Amino acid sequence: MLTRGDGVVLGLSGGPDSVCLFFVLLALKEEYNLTINAVHINHMIRGKDADEDEEYVRWLCNDFEVPLIVEKIDIPSLAKASGRSIEEEARMARYEAFDRVSKELATNGMPVKIAVAHNADDNAETVLFHMARGTGLDGMCGIAPVRDGIIRPLLVVPKKDILDFLEANDIGYCIDATNQQVDYDRNRIRHNIMPELGKINDKALEHIFDMTERLSEVAEYISFEANGLLQIAKEEDGSLRKRAIATAPHVIASQALKEYLSQFMPYQKDVTAVHIDSILELLNEDGERQVQLPYKKTLVISYEKLYVIDKDEKKGEPHFEYREFAYEKAMNYPKETYTKWFDCDRIMANIVIRTRAEGDYLVIDSKGNRKSIQDYFVDEKIPRHMRDEVPLVCDGNHVMWVVGHRVSEYYKISENTTRVLEISYTEE
């Protein structure tokens, strides 16, 4: 968790766990040459009690010469605006503050870890909480001892041992009265369920921790295999090959999809089992399917590919340039996908650039056979959500050019061509 010369950002609430960790880090400071900074978040939930906790933390850090950063964050207002629970909003605010401070300290090149004081009881409560709400393997692994620069040195220590240590050394701490209220789900587990498990087996905490360690090893292996699958399945454009995911073992495909979708979300937990199961059920169906994701994002299962689209993503403005000139047989045709030549003499009406409309068609061969634009889109496996966005260069209902795809045979340059219309497309 620590190496010599590390910086440590300690989340210091003033409660027994964080105060215990405060003194553990002080005891290790000289041996590891640590630079310790404490961060205290006043959540503005408990009024005067919260202010008293802040004052105690200020006194403690001043007494032991530990730099302290205090932030007041109106969690009730943030939770009301976001729709998240008070607990979840507070947790997010804390870690955002810890991360911000750690990045500020790391600007001088010093490695910085974030230390928080979760203990063995917290780990067991988290596992039970996830089980009750519904969880996959990740949720059963409990709290990670080390992850993303966050360390939890007390994770194997029971709460009782922490309290005994503080009492034996005559160390004071703050008591959060809300921790005694069973209105919160975690408190119900803490006060009602954990004591009963202790009566069944006094080593229940130890056994739960052992289980999470074993499951973590399993999860690590599955994640390794899932990353291998993603490397095989990923296309250059960032999409996934549908067949590669569909033919993989269910547990590997599930984890691969979770890791793929997580890159489009602020938090990995935004991708739920409901999303993954919905996607897996649709992989063997024909045609295009969509699964709605959080934050106005959509996973598209389109023919042979899977990819994510963002409904709020701003697209470039289409821009067309054109010129007309006399045709000479020695001229070379443009090879660019987005620059095309057309026989001017065959154009019957004013050219219109638009998206598809009823009755649109193009000529698909030299015999003059037609195909409707709808059938063309289906045959070419153009995703349904993109069909109303593909620019069409039209001569009435006759589509001269499906931009980015093909030109109608009718307008192609021939030995009878005298004048050429060149059209180029760019996106600004």
CATH label of the domain that carries residue 379: 3.50.40.10
The band of 398, judged by pLDDT with boundaries at 50, 70 and 90, is: very high
DSSP state of 189: I
Look at residue 223 in the predicted model and tell me its pLDDT: 93
Give the mean model confidence (pLDDT) for residues 332-349.
88
Helices 16-32 and 159-168 meet at what angle, rounded to 10? 70
Number of domains into which the chain is organized: 3
Helix, strand counts (H, E) of the chain: 14, 18
Q: Say which residues have a Cβ less than 8 Å from residue 31's Cβ, sequence separation at least 6.
A: none
Look at residue 395 in the predicted model and tell me its pLDDT: 94
Does 120 map to a domain? yes
Contact 12, 38 (CB under 8 A): yes
Structure tokens at 117: 């004081």
Contact 69, 101 (CB under 8 A): yes
For residue 55, count other CB atoms closer than 10 A to its CB.
12
> Based on the domain organization, do 99 and 173 belong to the same domain?
yes
Contact 154, 162 (CB under 8 A): yes
Q: Which helix (H) or strand (E) holds 291?
A: strand 288-293
> Based on the domain organization, do 282 and 411 belong to the same domain?
no
Does 150 map to a domain? yes
Question: Domain range spanning residue 421?
Answer: 318-427
Q: How far apart are CA 366 and CA 408, in angstroms?
A: 10
The band of 24, judged by pLDDT with boundaries at 50, 70 and 90, is: very high
């095989």: which residue's tokens?
232
Range scoring the smallest mean pLDDT among 31-40, 303-312, 324-333: 303-312
Does 128 map to a domain? yes
| CATH number of 151's domain | 3.40.50.620
> Based on the domain organization, do 66 and 165 belong to the same domain?
yes
Q: Which helix (H) or strand (E) holds 239?
A: none
Look at residue 182 in the predicted model and tell me its pLDDT: 59
Look at residue 317 in the predicted model and tell me its pLDDT: 74
Q: Tens of pLDDT along 130-151?
A: 888 877 788 889 999 998 899 9
Beta strands in 221-271 (DSSP E): 240-241
Structure tokens at 74: 């109106």
Sheet holding 339-343, edge to edge: 318-326, 419-427, 339-343
Does 223 map to a domain? no
């701490």: which residue's tokens?
173
- Name the H helices within 106-203: 120-133, 137-140, 159-168, 185-188, 194-200
Look at residue 179 in the predicted model and tell me its pLDDT: 65
> Based on the domain organization, do 154 and 176 belong to the same domain?
yes
> Of 277, 310, 343, which closes a domain?
310
Candidates 234, 7, 37, 21; CA nearest to 118 is 21
> Of 284, 310, 336, which closes a domain?
310
The band of 347, judged by pLDDT with boundaries at 50, 70 and 90, is: very high
> Based on the domain organization, do 66 and 183 belong to the same domain?
yes
Look at residue 86 in the predicted model and tell me its pLDDT: 83
| CATH number of 286's domain | 3.30.465.60
Structure tokens at 287: 């045609």
Contact 385, 290 (CB under 8 A): yes
């220590």: which residue's tokens?
157
Q: How far apart are CA 339 and CA 159, in angstroms?
A: 70
What is the percent of the chain with per-residue pLDDT over 70, rounded to a whole number?
A: 96
> Based on the domain organization, do 95 and 68 belong to the same domain?
yes
Candidates 423, 307, 397, 409; CA nearest to 367 is 409
């006060």: which residue's tokens?
191
The 3-state DSSP class for residue 211 equals helix
For residue 165, count other CB atoms closer than 10 A to its CB.
16
What length is written for the chain?
A: 428
Range scoring the smallest mean pLDDT among 228-237, 266-275, 390-399: 266-275
Does 229 map to a domain? no
């009602």: which residue's tokens?
192
The band of 325, judged by pLDDT with boundaries at 50, 70 and 90, is: very high
Candidates 239, 245, 252, 381; CA nearest to 299 is 239
Q: Tens of pLDDT along 160-202?
A: 999 999 999 999 999 876 666 656 677 888 888 989 998 999 9
> Based on the domain organization, do 159 and 85 belong to the same domain?
yes
Q: What is the average pLDDT value for the chain, to the nearest integer?
A: 89
Q: How far apart are CA 69 and CA 39, in angstroms?
A: 5
Does 390 map to a domain? yes
> Based on the domain organization, do 170 and 192 belong to the same domain?
yes
> Based on the domain organization, do 286 and 322 belong to the same domain?
no
Q: Which residues pair with 234 in a beta bridge?
A: 240
> Based on the domain organization, do 272 and 337 belong to the same domain?
no
Look at residue 30 in the predicted model and tell me its pLDDT: 93
Give the mean model confidence (pLDDT) for residues 79-104.
88
> Based on the domain organization, do 184 and 242 belong to the same domain?
no
Sign of CA dihedral 27, 30, 33, 39: positive
> Based on the domain organization, do 116 and 32 belong to the same domain?
yes
Does 226 map to a domain? no
> Of 272, 288, 310, which closes a domain?
310
Does 1 map to a domain? no
User: What's the Rg (C-alpha) of the chain?
Assistant: 31
Backbone angles phi and psi of 225, in degrees to 5: -65, -35
